[in-house]
Amino acid sequence: MKSIPLHYSPDTHAVHAGEYVNDTRGHVGPIYQTSTFVFSDAAEGRDLFANEKSGYIYSRLGNPTVELMERKVAALEGRGLMLKAKERGEDISVYCRAFASGMSAISTIVFTALSAGDHLLADTILYGCTNDLFDNVLPRFGIHVDFVDCSDLTALEKAFEDHPNTKMVFLETPGNPTMKLCDIAGVAELCKNRALLVVDNTFATPILQRPLELGADIVMHSGTKYLSGHGNVISGLAIGTDEEFFARMHSMQIDTGGVPSPFDSWLLNTGLKTLPLRMKRHCENAMKIADFLDNRKGISRVLYPACKSFPQKELAEKQMDGYGGVIAFEVEGGYERAQLVLNSTKLFCLAVSLGCVDSLIEHPFTMTHAVVPEEVKAMHNITPGLIRIAVGIEDAADLIDDLDRALGSR
Ligand SMILES: Cc1ncc(COP(=O)(O)O)c(C=O)c1O
């Protein structure tokens, strides 16, 4: 396997980390599209099952194409943390496990960490299915869940006092679709010796934000989004430093079965190589578009951390290396006007998801956040006039022209 010095930049790690010269000496790692692996003899099969020898048995248990991609993600999320540890004279390892989807990553993390009688504190603004899993599924298994605004550290401390059996705090930052931020270091401080902090880093990616460096215990991603980047993969990732937890999570995954396919893992690994370049472009384009929207008549608010009006701009500057590619904005004229705009763009494709090379537009109120309870939508101002765009890597001037025309449509 290639050994990449930790101090080399994320751009270099994205291209080289995890790669190795395979048996065929093919330049690009092959897709091991196989469900099972052949033992050289019965004794080898016995030794592999007894853990007395390492190697591949069956792709639900482990697959080389999946592992290559896991190593690259571990390097991108963890290299800064490992570098700091090395400077202190310590040696830590960062583990990554890939899943069939972001939701599979979340559910496996939760079912590994929590048992009946435990309590989970979750932020109030979450992806719709995460919200549904916590609100409707976990209570059926005796796991109690309360939602608290994790951007309010006083409220979080009070929630800890009210629920001393809290074992996990789960948050997304930036949050979907309002871009609300949580102070990861501040929340991590409150969680210390009390609860595991899990951060959904899907919107920021390790290029813009590394929660492990800020004190989070586990980072998760929907790899479906920026990490793969081309809208052709469904996948999930979990990254952390606790070897014992990751071993237990592997067992849980083997038993519950949410593994990614070798082909999706290969596509994801290919996408990761351009992640730093793509994120730079997503950020540059989104800055220009947010600026345009901020000055366009017919728009009542723009939610993007770089905007002067964004209340948590300072926090964004503190914990992020860029503001990302997602913007939400509210059109004057509410639902009817929003529908007109959604139906009128030509470059912005009317579809949920985000993080693709092409730009997408969607309506959180009736689409991604349709299952979120009305009172939660009201609390976060997810109104019928709110539109979310995921800015791609096309030419910014063309995207602005497309939006301008759609906003002016009748
Ligand atoms: C922030 C966030 N987390 C998790 C998920 C779930 O990921 P997946 O669709 O890969 O299961 C999504 C999906 O949109 C998301 O936006």
Query: Cα Rg for the chain, rounded, in angstroms?
Result: 22
Is the pTM higher than 0.85?
yes
* Rounded distance from Cα 106 to ligand 1 centre (Å): 9
Q: What does the angle CA 258 – CA 262 – CA 267 come to, to the nearest 5 degrees?
A: 110
Which of the residues 200, 217, 264, 402 is marked catalytic? 200
Whole-angstrom distance, CA of residue 312 vs CA of residue 318: 10
* Rounded distance from Cα 103 to ligand 1 centre (Å): 6
* Rounded distance from Cα 239 to ligand 1 centre (Å): 16
Which of the residues 32, 127, 304, 323 is marked catalytic? 127
Identify the bridge partners of residue 99 per DSSP, sorted by sequence position.
236
Q: Helix count (H) and strand count (E) of the chain?
A: 15, 12
**Other CB atoms closer than 10 Å to residue 60's CB: what's the count?**
14
Which of the residues 225, 278, 337, 388 is marked catalytic? 225
Token digits for 318?
């503190």
The predicted structure's pLDDT at residue 373: 87
Token digits for 62?
């482990």
Contact 342, 350 (CB under 8 A): yes
Contact residues of ligand 1, CB 6 A cut-off? 101-103, 127, 130, 172, 176, 200, 202, 222, 224, 234, 236
Give phi and psi for 327, each to the nearest 5. -130, 140
- Of 131, 171, 202, the residue with max ligand 1 atoms within 8 A of its CB, to mutate for a pocket test, comes to 202
The residue length of the chain stands at 410
- Of 73, 171, 205, 225, the residue with max ligand 1 atoms within 8 A of its CB, to mutate for a pocket test, comes to 225
Catalytic (active site) residue 60:
yes
Residue by residue, DSSP assigns 314-344 as HHHHHH-SS--SEEEEEETTHHHHHHHHHTT
Which of the residues 8, 56, 60, 281 is marked catalytic? 60
- Residue 203 Cα: closest atom of ligand 1: 1
- Strand ranges inside 6-91, DSSP E: none
Give phi and psi for 164, each to the nearest 5. -65, -15
Contact 366, 388 (CB under 8 A): no
Is the backbone of residue 183 left (phi > 0), alpha (psi -120 to 50) or beta? beta
Contact 269, 68 (CB under 8 A): yes
Token digits for 233?
């993969």
* Rounded distance from Cα 360 to ligand 1 centre (Å): 15
The predicted structure's pLDDT at residue 180: 96
SS3 category, 359: coil
Instruction: Report the candidate in 291, 262, 290, 254 with the shortest Cα–Cα distance to residue 104.
Output: 254
CA-closest residue to ligand 1 atom 9: 102
CA-closest residue to ligand 1 atom 8: 102
Whole-angstrom distance, CA of residue 328 vs CA of residue 351: 15
Contacts of residue 246, Cβ cutoff 8 Å, sequence gap at least 6: 95, 97, 238, 240
Catalytic (active site) residue 225:
yes
The predicted structure's pLDDT at residue 409: 79
Whole-angstrom distance, CA of residue 203 vs CA of residue 201: 6
Whole-angstrom distance, CA of residue 39 vs CA of residue 268: 29
Amino acid at site 13 = H
Catalytic (active site) residue 200:
yes
- Strand ranges inside 296-351, DSSP E: 299-303, 326-331, 349-350
First to last CA, the chain: 58
Whole-angstrom distance, CA of residue 328 vs CA of residue 338: 12
- Residue 353 Cα: closest atom of ligand 1: 14
Amino acid at site 94 = V
Token digits for 307?
């905007």
Amino acid at site 142 = G
Show the domains of the chain with their CATH numbers: 10-30+63-272 (3.40.640.10), 276-407 (3.90.1150.10)
CA-closest residue to ligand 1 atom 6: 102
* Cα-to-chain-centroid distance, residue 329: 22
* Rounded distance from Cα 188 to ligand 1 centre (Å): 22
What are the Cα distances from residue 296, in Å, to 285, 289, 299? 16, 10, 6
CA-closest residue to ligand 1 atom 16: 127
The predicted structure's pLDDT at residue 410: 72
Whole-angstrom distance, CA of residue 259 vs CA of residue 270: 19
* Cα-to-chain-centroid distance, residue 298: 32
- Residue 126 Cα: closest atom of ligand 1: 1
Amino acid at site 374 = E
Whole-angstrom distance, CA of residue 306 vs CA of residue 393: 18
- List, for the chain, all residue ranges whose pLDDT scores fall below the cut of 70: none
